[in-house]
Amino acid sequence: MANYETLNKGEWSEVFALLRTLSDGILKGCNARLEHQINDTIPFIYLKHTAVNGSDIHYHIENENIKIISRTDTTMISRSSLNSAANTVFEKIINSSNRTFRIIEIDNILEEMQYPRLKSPTASKSDLIIALVENSQAIERGFSVKSNLGANTSLVNASKATNFLFEISSVKSEWLSLKAKKLVANIPIENIRFLGMDNTTYHHNLQLIDLQLPQIIAFMLIHYFRGLSTRISDLLAEITRQNPLSLSNTDLYRAKIEDFLVSSALGMVPTQEWNRLHSADGGMMIVKENREVVTFYCINAQSMTYFRQYLIENCYLDTASTTRHGFGRIYDDNKLKLNLLIRL
pLDDT digit string, tens, across residues 181-204: 999 999 999 999 999 999 999 999
Percentage of the chain exceeding pLDDT 70: 98
Please give the single-letter amino acid code of residue 135.
N
Environment class of 216 (CB within 10 Å of its CB; exposed 0-12, middle 13-18, buried 19+) = buried
CA distance 53 to 55: 6
pLDDT tens-place string over residues 150-170: 878 899 999 999 999 999 999
SS3 label, residue 97? coil
Sorting pLDDT into bands at 50, 70 and 90, what band is 4?
A: low
Residue 1: what pLDDT? 42
What is the per-residue pLDDT for 122?
62
What does the alpha-carbon distance between residue 223 and residue 133 come to, in Å, rounded to a whole number?
45
Confidence (pLDDT) at 344: 95
CA 56/CA 195 separation, integer angstroms = 46
Q: How confident is the model at residue 30 (pLDDT cuts 50, 70, 90)?
A: very high
- For the chain, the structural domain boundaries read 7-151, 156-277+301-343
Helix (H, G, I), strand (E, B) or coil at 229: coil
Q: What mean pLDDT do residues 125-140 have?
A: 94
pTM, to two decimals: 0.95
Confidence (pLDDT) at 125:
84
User: Quick check: helix, strand or coil at residue 102?
Assistant: coil
Quick: pLDDT tens for 282-324. Answer: 999 999 999 999 999 999 999 999 999 999 999 999 999 999 9
pLDDT digits (tens, 9 = 90+) for 32-60: 999 999 999 999 999 999 998 899 999 99
**How far is it, in rounded angstroms, from Cα 40 to Cα 50?**
28
- Name the residue among 334, 77, 71 with its Cα closest to residue 195: 334
